[in-house]
Protein backbone atom coordinates (compact mmCIF):
# COMPACT_ATOMS: atom_id res chain seq x y z
CA UNK A 1 0.00 0.00 0.00
CA UNK A 2 2.70 2.46 1.04
CA UNK A 3 4.95 1.52 -1.88
CA UNK A 4 2.08 1.92 -4.34
CA UNK A 5 1.48 5.48 -3.10
CA UNK A 6 5.18 6.29 -3.48
CA UNK A 7 5.15 4.80 -7.00
CA UNK A 8 2.23 7.03 -7.97
CA UNK A 9 3.99 10.11 -6.55
CA UNK A 10 7.20 9.40 -8.46
CA UNK A 11 5.33 8.80 -11.71
CA UNK A 12 3.82 12.28 -11.51
CA UNK A 13 7.23 13.90 -11.03
CA UNK A 14 8.88 15.38 -14.10
CA UNK A 15 12.36 14.24 -15.05
CA UNK A 16 13.50 17.89 -14.90
CA UNK A 17 12.16 21.18 -13.60
CA UNK A 18 12.20 24.19 -15.87
CA UNK A 19 13.30 27.12 -13.75
CA UNK A 20 10.51 29.68 -13.47
CA UNK A 21 12.72 32.72 -14.07
CA UNK A 22 14.16 31.56 -17.41
CA UNK A 23 13.81 34.33 -19.99
CA UNK A 24 11.93 33.05 -23.09
CA UNK A 25 14.35 34.74 -25.52
CA UNK A 26 17.37 32.99 -23.99
CA UNK A 27 18.05 29.87 -26.02
CA UNK A 28 21.34 28.50 -24.67
CA UNK A 29 20.46 25.59 -22.36
CA UNK A 30 22.15 24.02 -19.36
CA UNK A 31 20.89 20.94 -17.52
CA UNK A 32 21.86 21.20 -13.84
CA UNK A 33 21.44 18.22 -11.50
CA UNK A 34 21.76 18.50 -7.72
CA UNK A 35 22.47 15.42 -5.60
CA UNK A 36 21.38 15.95 -2.00
CA UNK A 37 22.66 13.87 0.86
CA UNK A 38 20.58 12.09 3.42
CA UNK A 39 19.94 14.49 6.27
CA UNK A 40 17.06 14.97 8.65
CA UNK A 41 16.32 18.48 7.47
CA UNK A 42 15.27 19.91 4.13
CA UNK A 43 15.58 23.46 2.87
CA UNK A 44 11.76 23.78 2.84
CA UNK A 45 11.71 27.29 4.32
CA UNK A 46 14.62 28.42 2.18
CA UNK A 47 14.95 30.11 -1.16
CA UNK A 48 17.70 28.39 -3.15
CA UNK A 49 19.46 30.39 -5.87
CA UNK A 50 22.05 29.16 -8.36
CA UNK A 51 24.42 31.00 -10.68
CA UNK A 52 26.65 29.37 -13.30
CA UNK A 53 30.11 30.88 -13.77
CA UNK A 54 31.82 30.33 -17.11
CA UNK A 55 35.21 31.16 -18.57
CA UNK A 56 33.70 33.79 -20.88
CA UNK A 57 30.63 35.03 -19.00
CA UNK A 58 28.62 34.80 -15.79
CA UNK A 59 25.04 33.58 -15.91
CA UNK A 60 22.02 35.12 -14.23
CA UNK A 61 20.95 34.06 -10.77
CA UNK A 62 18.14 31.51 -11.05
CA UNK A 63 15.67 30.52 -8.34
CA UNK A 64 15.62 26.74 -7.93
CA UNK A 65 13.24 26.70 -4.99
CA UNK A 66 11.14 29.38 -3.31
CA UNK A 67 10.47 29.40 0.40
CA UNK A 68 7.68 26.97 1.26
CA UNK A 69 8.19 24.72 -1.78
CA UNK A 70 9.22 21.11 -1.31
CA UNK A 71 11.48 20.51 -4.32
CA UNK A 72 14.79 19.67 -2.67
CA UNK A 73 14.19 16.76 -0.30
CA UNK A 74 16.66 14.50 1.57
CA UNK A 75 18.48 11.97 -0.63
CA UNK A 76 16.90 13.41 -3.75
CA UNK A 77 18.32 13.94 -7.21
CA UNK A 78 16.70 16.96 -8.88
CA UNK A 79 17.43 18.29 -12.36
CA UNK A 80 16.76 21.81 -13.59
CA UNK A 81 16.74 23.35 -17.07
CA UNK A 82 18.49 26.73 -17.00
CA UNK A 83 18.77 29.04 -20.01
CA UNK A 84 21.20 31.85 -20.77
CA UNK A 85 21.42 34.39 -23.54
CA UNK A 86 24.61 32.92 -24.96
CA UNK A 87 27.30 30.42 -24.09
CA UNK A 88 29.17 30.98 -20.84
CA UNK A 89 32.23 29.22 -22.24
CA UNK A 90 33.58 26.34 -20.16
CA UNK A 91 31.75 26.19 -16.85
CA UNK A 92 34.37 26.81 -14.16
CA UNK A 93 32.17 27.10 -11.09
CA UNK A 94 28.75 27.25 -9.50
CA UNK A 95 27.60 29.79 -6.95
CA UNK A 96 24.84 28.60 -4.60
CA UNK A 97 22.92 30.95 -2.34
CA UNK A 98 20.54 29.89 0.40
CA UNK A 99 18.20 32.46 1.98
CA UNK A 100 16.11 31.30 4.94
CA UNK A 101 13.30 33.05 6.78
CA UNK A 102 14.64 34.36 10.08
CA UNK A 103 11.57 33.32 12.10
CA UNK A 104 12.87 29.75 12.52
CA UNK A 105 13.51 28.56 16.09
CA UNK A 106 16.41 26.29 15.15
CA UNK A 107 18.92 26.23 12.34
CA UNK A 108 18.24 24.26 9.20
CA UNK A 109 21.24 22.75 7.45
CA UNK A 110 21.16 20.34 4.54
CA UNK A 111 23.79 18.28 2.79
CA UNK A 112 24.77 18.81 -0.84
CA UNK A 113 26.85 15.98 -2.32
CA UNK A 114 27.53 17.15 -5.85
CA UNK A 115 26.27 19.14 -8.82
CA UNK A 116 26.44 18.04 -12.44
CA UNK A 117 26.19 20.69 -15.16
CA UNK A 118 25.57 19.59 -18.75
CA UNK A 119 25.81 22.04 -21.62
CA UNK A 120 23.03 20.79 -23.88
CA UNK A 121 24.21 22.69 -26.94
CA UNK A 122 27.67 21.10 -27.18
CA UNK A 123 26.89 18.05 -24.96
CA UNK A 124 29.70 18.61 -22.47
CA UNK A 125 29.39 17.69 -18.84
CA UNK A 126 31.24 18.93 -15.77
CA UNK A 127 31.12 17.78 -12.17
CA UNK A 128 31.18 19.91 -9.05
CA UNK A 129 32.10 17.97 -5.91
CA UNK A 130 30.52 19.81 -3.00
CA UNK A 131 30.18 17.30 -0.13
CA UNK A 132 29.31 20.01 2.39
CA UNK A 133 26.55 21.20 4.67
CA UNK A 134 24.67 24.28 3.50
CA UNK A 135 23.60 26.59 6.30
CA UNK A 136 20.78 29.07 6.23
CA UNK A 137 21.73 32.41 4.66
CA UNK A 138 24.89 31.02 3.10
CA UNK A 139 26.65 32.02 -0.11
CA UNK A 140 29.04 29.38 -1.41
CA UNK A 141 31.16 29.05 -4.52
CA UNK A 142 32.15 25.61 -5.81
CA UNK A 143 34.81 24.97 -8.45
CA UNK A 144 34.45 22.36 -11.17
CA UNK A 145 36.35 19.18 -10.32
CA UNK A 146 39.42 18.26 -12.32
CA UNK A 147 40.03 14.85 -13.87
CA UNK A 148 42.40 14.02 -11.02
CA UNK A 149 39.78 14.95 -8.38
CA UNK A 150 37.18 12.69 -9.98
CA UNK A 151 39.45 9.66 -10.27
CA UNK A 152 40.79 9.35 -6.74
CA UNK A 153 40.20 5.98 -5.09
CA UNK A 154 37.98 7.56 -2.44
CA UNK A 155 35.63 9.18 -4.97
CA UNK A 156 35.40 6.14 -7.24
CA UNK A 157 34.76 3.80 -4.32
CA UNK A 158 32.15 6.10 -2.78
CA UNK A 159 30.22 6.74 -6.02
CA UNK A 160 30.30 3.09 -7.00
CA UNK A 161 29.16 1.83 -3.60
CA UNK A 162 26.40 4.48 -3.31
CA UNK A 163 25.06 3.62 -6.74
CA UNK A 164 25.29 -0.11 -6.08
CA UNK A 165 23.36 0.16 -2.81
CA UNK A 166 20.78 2.51 -4.28
CA UNK A 167 20.22 0.39 -7.40
CA UNK A 168 20.76 -3.23 -6.30
CA UNK A 169 20.15 -3.59 -2.57
CA UNK A 170 16.59 -4.82 -1.97
CA UNK A 171 15.62 -2.65 1.02
CA UNK A 172 17.74 0.40 0.31
CA UNK A 173 16.54 0.58 -3.29
CA UNK A 174 12.90 0.72 -2.18
CA UNK A 175 13.48 3.97 -0.31
CA UNK A 176 15.97 5.60 -2.66
CA UNK A 177 14.68 4.61 -6.10
CA UNK A 178 15.04 7.34 -8.66
CA UNK A 179 12.05 8.22 -10.80
CA UNK A 180 13.74 7.17 -14.08
CA UNK A 181 14.36 3.66 -12.72
CA UNK A 182 10.69 2.78 -12.56
CA UNK A 183 10.61 0.72 -15.76
Q: Which DSSP helix (H) or strand (E) runs through 154?
A: helix 153-168
- CA 55 – CA 66 distance, rounded (Å): 29
For the whole model, what pTM was predicted?
0.76
Query: Is residue 64 located within the same domain as residue 116?
Result: yes
Nearest by Cα to 139 from 103, 91, 99, 101:
99
pLDDT digits 0-9 by tens, 73-107 = 777 788 999 999 999 999 999 999 988 775 555 56
- CA 141 – CA 180 distance, rounded (Å): 30
Contact 69, 103 (CB under 8 A): no
Query: Is residue 94 located within the same domain as residue 158?
Result: no
For residue 166, what are the domain limits?
147-175
Does residue 43 lie within any of the structural domains? yes
Count Cβ atoms within 10 A of the Cβ of residue 174 and give its class: 0-12 exposed, 13-18 middle, 19 or more buried. Answer: exposed
pLDDT digits 0-9 by tens, 4-41 = 565 555 555 557 777 778 888 888 999 999 988 877 66
Amino acid sequence: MWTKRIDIETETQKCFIEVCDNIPTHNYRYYVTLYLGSSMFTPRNSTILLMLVGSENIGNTHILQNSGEDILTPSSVRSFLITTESSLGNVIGVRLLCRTESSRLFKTTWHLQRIVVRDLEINECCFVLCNCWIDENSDQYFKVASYKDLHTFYRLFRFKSENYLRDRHLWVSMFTMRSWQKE
